[in-house]
Amino acid sequence: MNKTSEIIAEVQKQGRKFLLEPEAKAICREYSIPVTKFTVAKSPKEAVEAAENIGYPVVLKIVSPDVVHKSDVGGVVLNLRSSEEVEKAYQQIIGNVKKHKPNAQITGVLVQEMAPSSTEIIVGVIKDPQFGHAIMFGLGGIFVELLKDVAFRLLPLTKEEAEEMITEIKAYPVLKGYRKTPPADIPAIIEILLNTSRLVTEHPEIQELDLNPIMVYTKGAKTVDARIILE
Ligand code: ADP
Ligand code: MG
């Protein structure tokens, strides 16, 4: 059994549907979808060790099967630059989660590389009862939320379709670069779309997938938050 099947089987065995961020990112990594470096820490000391291995600045996040939206419970602290800041953020996150959700089971705290700000894109997959899996692509923030500027295709996706999805959104000129915004690595986005298609096609038990946001650079890209929901 490959690693992705193992992770999914373990989640199902535990009676869960939502994958934890480290589980979802481990699966992404198996499919060559670029994600931030990460380690799950179980103590402030482990968090500092992880941060030193990854390199500052880092981000700390709650890992809990009972917390789906991590920021809503004070479970995300960005831009930590020293061991002191990491230790403090660890305690702060545990404290915040215990306050907001006293019964939440806490798996640990995710220590991850802080991705530099850049153009943000979103890749999603939903499963329609009639049409099956569809993949969505758009730019992050107001482009998706306010302007609904997104492209959809059914899976499996071809390279031509991936290219079309990128060029057909209204915000495409943003990806090509303008004024102070450098051009985004469009071949890297195409790879992400195709690898996401392959992942869900090979694991149709995935009901929903959300890579939001993915930072896209002039060279390469990095997924900052990944969610996977099983049927
Ligand atoms: P939530 O469960 O609340 O969606 P996220 O993991 O998406 O939590 O974190 C909230 C926000 O913090 C993200 O949308 C992103 O703007 C920022 N963020 C999270 N992780 C990173 C990271 N590794 N590097 C840079 N920014 C990050
Ligand atoms: Mg998020």
The CATH number for 136's domain is 3.30.470.20
Assess contact for 111 and 48: CB atoms under 8 A: no
Q: Considering only 58-62, 144-148, 159-163, which range has the smallest mean pLDDT? A: 144-148
Ligand 1 lined by 112 (C-beta under 6 Å): yes
Ligand 1 lined by 25 (C-beta under 6 Å): no
Pocket test for ligand 1, best of 37, 76, 227 (most atoms within 8 A of CB): 76
**pLDDT at position 65:** 97
4 inside domain: no
| Dihedral, CA of residue 136, residue 127, residue 148 and residue 210, to nearest 10 | -60
Q: What is the pLDDT of residues 94-136, one digit of tens each?
A: 999 999 999 999 999 999 999 999 999 999 999 999 999 999 9
1 inside domain: no
Q: What is the pLDDT of residues 36-74, one digit of tens each?
A: 999 999 999 999 999 999 999 999 999 999 999 999 999
User: Nearest to residue 231, comparing CAs of 209, 206, 211, 210?
Assistant: 206
**pLDDT at position 139:** 96
Assess contact for 125 and 134: CB atoms under 8 A: yes
Strand partners, 80: 58
Pocket test for ligand 1, best of 21, 71, 144 (most atoms within 8 A of CB): 71
CA of 225 to the centre of ligand 1 (A): 6
**pLDDT at position 178:** 84
This model's pTM is above 0.95: yes
Task: Flag whether pLDDT at 1 surpasses 80.
Answer: no
CA-CA distance, 168 to 166, in Å (whole number)? 6
On whether both 50 and 152 belong to a single domain, the answer is: no
Task: Flag whether pLDDT at 3 surpasses 90.
Answer: yes
Percent of the chain residues topping a pLDDT of 70: 100
The residue whose CA is least distant from atom 14 of ligand 1 is 213
50 inside domain: yes
CA-CA distance, 94 to 133, in Å (whole number)? 37
Could you say which ligand is closest to the alpha carbon of residue 111?
1
Percent of the chain residues topping a pLDDT of 90: 94
On whether both 142 and 207 belong to a single domain, the answer is: yes
- Closest-lying ligand 1 atom to the alpha carbon of residue 117: 25
Tell the burial category of 37 from Cβ atoms under 10 Å away from its Cβ (0-12, 13-18, 19+): middle
Task: Flag whether pLDDT at 208 surpasses 90.
Answer: yes
Mean pLDDT of all residues in 211-223: 98
11 inside domain: no
Residue after which a domain boundary falls, among 80, 114, 148:
114
6 inside domain: no
**pLDDT at position 147:** 81
Task: Flag whether pLDDT at 186 surpasses 80.
Answer: yes
Residue after which a domain boundary falls, among 66, 87, 114:
114
CA-CA distance, 146 to 163, in Å (whole number)? 24
**pLDDT at position 92:** 98
138 inside domain: yes
Could you say which ligand is closest to the alpha carbon of residue 76?
1
Domain containing 164 equals: 119-230
Burial 193-223 (b: 16+ CB within 10 A, else e): bbbbbbbbeebeebebbbbbbbbbbeeebbb
The pair of three-digit structure tokens given for residue 134, joined into one six-digit string: 């569809």
